[in-house]
Amino acid sequence: MVLATITGVGDEKGGVKYFDGINEDITERKRLERELGEKREQLEAQNEELQATEEELRVSNDELQAANEELHREVAERKRTEEELEQTLAALKQSNTELQNFAYVSSHDLQEPLRMVSSFTQLLAKRYRGKLDKDADEFISYAVEGANRMQRLINDLLEYSRVTTRGRPFVPTDTGVIFEQAMANLRLAIEESGAAVTCDPLPPVMADDMQLVQLFQNLVGNAVKFSGREPPRVHVSARQEGEGWVFSVRDNGIGIEPQYFDRVFVIFQRLHSREDYPGTGAGLAVCKNIVERHGGRIWVESESGKGSTFYFTIPLTRG
């Protein structure tokens, strides 16, 4: 690229005498100007990007600061919640201990006056049966039955409270031997019902051996009692899962509807009348108390009319 510059040279009369021209190659200058313009545009674009990045960083910093403040609030709230939970658990534990002691003392202290009532009502029934009118005999019979039922309730309440108030130390325990002891206690009920009770090999655990006897006795006893038309079939097994053992007691009995799965473990909660199935409704509550004392949990899977399987866990080491 060439830049031409023409200059006129005048004469004495003020006219143009001639023209003087200069040609200049400006290719390099134009190239430099273009490059300079491109650089300027790049710098302006970079400056805009930098400003945008700076704004994003500012926004991110504000968001990070807000998130950090929220995290501090959540941590503080969680700490308060944990402290409140610990206080609640401590209060519940204390309340449960007091309740267990109250149940034990109450049921124990009620034994003697109840025995007196029961003895005298039975004496009345024996001495005056047929000597009074028909209504009197019926009323005395009601009193005797009521006293006997109260005696059973108190005995079961005492048994329930003793799980925690009179528990023995945990020792290495062969659950296979424990199962055999429980079956010996149930021998008469098993023979009368024609039940078949089978068992897989059972593992050793750390436990209160007497309470495990009671646990197996209650679960298998219920399976025998709550049978359908077919002779009871009960199978006991165990498998290791994680840090503990899962025991199961499976039967072919009348089953339980799902809405009652929790209720059956509440003391004195019955699903059937005493005429259909005798008892106070304390057996499974005692089982739950025993299992929880050992650091485990107990639950049931069942369908009405299709049998039930009761599961309970015992940790490899004491819970």
* pLDDT tens for each residue of 65-90: 888 888 888 888 888 888 888 887 77
Cα angle 297, 301, 303; round to 5: 155
Query: What pLDDT does 229 receive?
Result: 81
3-state secondary structure (DSSP) of residue 178: helix
Query: What pLDDT does 180 receive?
Result: 95
Same domain, 120 and 194: no
Same domain, 307 and 174: yes
Checking if the pLDDT of 159 tops 50, the result is yes
CB 234 within 8 A of CB 247: no
Checking if the pLDDT of 21 tops 70, the result is no
Checking if the pLDDT of 274 tops 60, the result is no
State the pLDDT confidence band at 255, using cuts at 50, 70 and 90: confident
Task: Classify residue 290: in a domain, yes or no.
Answer: yes
Same domain, 130 and 263: no
CB 301 within 8 A of CB 249: no
Query: What pLDDT does 49 receive?
Result: 84
How far is 193 from 209, CA to CA, in rounded Å?
Answer: 27
Q: How many residues does the chain have?
A: 319
Same domain, 286 and 186: yes
Checking if the pLDDT of 319 tops 50, the result is no
Task: Classify residue 70: in a domain, yes or no.
Answer: no
Same domain, 177 and 311: yes
How far is 317 from 300, CA to CA, in rounded Å?
Answer: 23
- How many structural domains comprise the chain? 2
- What tens digit of pLDDT does each residue of 292-302 get? 999 999 999 98
Task: Classify residue 120: in a domain, yes or no.
Answer: yes
Within 8 A by CB and 6+ apart from 277, the residues are: 225, 226
Q: What are phi and psi of 110, to 5 degrees?
A: -80, -15
Task: Classify residue 36: in a domain, yes or no.
Answer: no
Task: Classify residue 143: in a domain, yes or no.
Answer: yes
Within 8 A by CB and 6+ apart from 221, the residues are: 186, 189, 283
Read off the pLDDT of each residue in 280-306 and give the average, rounded to a whole number.
88
3-state secondary structure (DSSP) of residue 145: helix
Taking CA atoms, 158 is separated from 134, 215, 217, 257, 268, in Å, by 36, 16, 17, 29, 13
Checking if the pLDDT of 285 tops 80, the result is yes
Which range is least confidently modeled, 11-20, 139-148, 172-181? 11-20
Same domain, 174 and 254: yes
Task: Classify residue 211: in a domain, yes or no.
Answer: yes
State the pLDDT confidence band at 31, using cuts at 50, 70 and 90: confident
Same domain, 259 and 160: no
Same domain, 154 and 258: no
Same domain, 180 and 311: yes
- Say how many C-beta atoms besides its own lie within 10 A of residue 173's C-beta: 20
Read off the pLDDT of each residue in 36-54 and give the average, rounded to a whole number.
83
User: 164, 191, 214 — which closes off a domain?
Assistant: 164
Query: What pLDDT does 280 receive?
Result: 63
Task: Classify residue 59: in a domain, yes or no.
Answer: no
- What tens digit of pLDDT does each residue of 178-223 get? 999 999 999 999 999 999 999 999 999 999 999 999 999 999 998 9
Taking CA atoms, 280 is separated from 56, 157, 275, in Å, by 71, 10, 12
CB 265 within 8 A of CB 281: no
Checking if the pLDDT of 115 tops 80, the result is no
CB 224 within 8 A of CB 194: no
How far is 211 from 290, CA to CA, in rounded Å?
Answer: 7
Same domain, 181 and 309: yes
Query: What pLDDT does 186 receive?
Result: 92
Task: Classify residue 22: in a domain, yes or no.
Answer: no
Same domain, 241 and 293: yes
Domain carrying residue 130: 95-164
Percentage of the residues of the chain whose pLDDT score is greater than 90:
30
Question: How many CA atoms lie within 13 Å of 134's alpha carbon, on the beta-carbon side?
Answer: 0
Same domain, 142 and 177: no
CB 104 within 8 A of CB 160: no
The span from the first CA to the last CA of the chain, in angstroms, equals 95
Within 8 A by CB and 6+ apart from 76, the residues are: none
The average confidence (pLDDT) of the chain is 81
- What tens digit of pLDDT does each residue of 1-18 get? 656 666 766 667 767 666
Query: What pLDDT does 214 receive?
Result: 92
User: 164, 199, 220 — which closes off a domain?
Assistant: 164
Read off the pLDDT of each residue in 274-282 and give the average, rounded to a whole number.
61
Q: Residue 155, exposed/middle/buried by CB under 10 A (0-12, 13-18, 19+)?
A: middle
